[in-house]
Each structure stands twice: as structure tokens, then as C-alpha cells.
Amino acid sequence: MRLGIDVGATAIKSGLVDDRYNVTGKRSRPTDARDAAAFLSDLADIGRSYRGSAKITSVGIGLPGQVDPHKGTLVDSTNLALADVPVADTLSRELGVPAFVGNDANCAMFGEVYAGEGVTTPNLIMVTVGTGIGGGIRINGKIYRGRNESAGEFGHMCVNFSGVTCRCGATGCWEAYASVTALIRQTRDAAGQYPQSLLARLIEEGGGAVDGRTAFIAAKAGCPVAEQVVETYAGYLAVGIDNLLIIFRPDKVVLAGAVMNEGDFLVSRIKEKIRFPDQLCISKLHSHAGIIGAAVLGEVYRDHKQFV
Ligand code: BMX
Ligand code: ZN
């Protein structure tokens, strides 16, 4: 069994992946990225926790940020505020098996390539919507990784050159508008502006908590303010997706991330606003894409045919 670990800014998900890409023993724990030592010790803990249940042959870790697959390090991560972390070496030493690292969104795409939409589509663009927005590019059946293995950072393409400042320091990045972090900000802003709205009341009843579902719940309950938040958010997502469709003309743009659980309520609105709506779909692997993709990293890196 291969172990796949999918590190997000909020949670670390893991699971065992068999030869047919079934995921078992799925676990999730909050991400603790206070410092590299705490982070590595959590990853080692997760790895060790699977030892009793199966014979692990390799481990792969998907990381949010720039990775060096050759050195096995997390080079830099704005969202985790970590740099130069020797992830693969640590896990390999702890578990006594080969360990590999990849960018988290690239891993989601590898999951699609091996077990999802990519099995039948040679030209595929992956977009993961979470704390940030990540991406992956597959052209003619090969994975495009670019200079320093860092292609596909779709979250940091500019959609508004005089817009808000992104966590990366640049102006108007797509993820500053269309990530779940941005959706939460937009939801709070709208509730603050319309304190009498159902949206604002719902937030108040929940003790002030807002997450990626809040605006959708209120919109579905008929709140026009929340409806506008969802509509505008779909517009932000559509801008970036439309750019990707025009640049790559892929067979499919595959969307992943928990917010995609909203399904057609969100995606139909995006489709109305893009030029090639038939090419857009939601990952059927859901959160398993990142785990499967991390688990198959060893194969991906061995199989050079995969690369442009
Ligand atoms: C950020 C970026 C990507 C990552 C994406 C998704 C950085 C620079 N991370 O745009 O590498 O793939 O977020 O990350 O720190 P997630 O946390 O939403 O899964
Ligand atoms: Zn940015």
C-alpha cells in the first residue's frame, strides 16, 4: 500500500491507496505549521499511525507551495509560512520507505490523471479551490511542470491590476478574489453592510462564525444579499477559468476543493459566464484526488513520459 498525505493550509488529509486507487483509512487533522519542527513531527506521526494497519511501500506528500521534487523539500509556502523544509528525507527516515513530495494541486491533478477525469482526457487543467487556488497542467497526455517545477500557480495570475493585495505580496491575484478565504471575506463584508439580512442574522445566530458554506446556506434559504455574494463569487471564479480555457483550450477544466460540494448551485453560475462551458466539470474523486496523487508521486516521477 502507498501512503498519500495531502497537506492543506487548514487540514492534513491522509489515506492508504491500493493498486486500483481505492483510498482506505482516511484521516484528517488540523495543520500545525507553527514551525518546521512541529510540522515535520506531525507528518511523521501521521506516517507512523498507519504502520500497524498495512505494509507501506512508499509515501508521497502533497504540499501547498513550491516544492523541489529532486531534493524532496518544501522550498517556500506563503500559506504555511514555511521555507526549505526537508519533508521527504524526514518521512523516508521515519518510515523506512521511499518518500516523494509534490505541489498539492499538482498532486490533485495526478490523482485525476491516474484515477479520474484524466484517464480519458489528454488535455486537462486542474484547479483546486481552498485556502488558496492551486493548479496543474496536462498537455497531450504529458504533465507540464515548467521552470523550477513551478508551473500552474493559477491562484497568482492577475485578474485585477489595481485590486487587492494577495498574501504573496502581488496585486490582484485570482486567489485574492476566488479562494474560499476570499469568499469568507466577501461573506463577512456583505453581512456587515446589510445587518438586517438573513445572512447577517444567520452569522449572528452561529456566534459570528463564517465558513465557505455560509453564503450558500443563506442564499438557498432565499436571502438576496447572500444570493449576490454567491453570484459575484461565481463571477470571480469564472474570470480565471475563462482565461485558462482561452489559453489552453483543454478537453476539461477540472475543479476540486470542498466548496465544489455546492455542485450545480455554484457551477451552473460559472458556466453561464465562461466561453466553453461544456469543458468545465467537478472532480468525481473529491478530496481523494490529492491523496491518490500524493500516493502515486513515485510512479509519476519515475514515468518520464508524463512530462513535457
Ligand atoms: C497557493 C500556493 C499554491 C497552492 C495553492 C493551494 C503558496 C504559494 N501556495 O496559491 O502552491 O497549490 O495555494 O493551496 O503558499 P491550498 O492551501 O488551498 O490547498
Ligand atoms: Zn498572489
Q: What pLDDT score was predicted for residue 53?
A: 84
Ligand 1: distance of its center to the CA of 133 in Å?
Answer: 6
Does the CB atom of residue 65 touch ligand 1 within 6 A?
A: yes
Mean pLDDT across the chain: 95
Euclidean distance between CA atoms 225 and 190, whole angstroms: 7
Do residues 59 and 99 make contact, with C-beta atoms less than 8 angstroms apart?
Answer: yes
Does the CB atom of residue 136 touch ligand 1 within 6 A?
A: no
Please report, as a single letter, which amino acid is at residue 295: A
What's the pLDDT tens digit per position in 161-219? 999 999 999 999 999 999 999 999 999 999 999 999 999 999 999 999 999 999 999 99
Polymer length in residues for the chain: 308
The model's confidence at residue 147, banded by pLDDT at 50, 70 and 90, is confident
Q: Provide the grid cell at 117.
A: 477525469
Best of 107, 153, 159 to mutate for ligand 1, by most ligand atoms within 8 A of CB?
153
Q: Percent of the chain beyond pLDDT 70?
A: 98
> pTM score, two decimals?
0.94
Q: Is 304's pLDDT higher than 80?
A: no
Q: Is 276's pLDDT higher than 90?
A: yes
Does the CB atom of residue 132 touch ligand 1 within 6 A?
A: yes
What's the pLDDT tens digit per position in 33-90? 999 999 999 999 999 999 888 899 999 999 999 999 999 999 999 888 899 999 999 9
Among 44, 59, 56, smallest CA distance to 99 is for 59
Do residues 281 and 117 make contact, with C-beta atoms less than 8 angstroms apart?
Answer: yes
Q: What pLDDT score was predicted for residue 81?
A: 87
Ligand 2: distance of its center to the CA of 160 in Å?
Answer: 11
Among 239, 292, 278, 285, smallest CA distance to 260 is for 285
- The residue whose CA is least distant from atom 11 of ligand 1 is 65
Ligand 1: distance of its center to the CA of 194 in Å?
Answer: 32
The model's confidence at residue 303, banded by pLDDT at 50, 70 and 90, is confident
Burial degree of 46 (CB within 10 A; 0-12, 13-18, 19+): buried
Which residues contact residue 227 at a Cβ distance below 8 angstroms, ignoring those fewer than 6 apart?
219
Please report, as a single letter, which amino acid is at residue 152: G
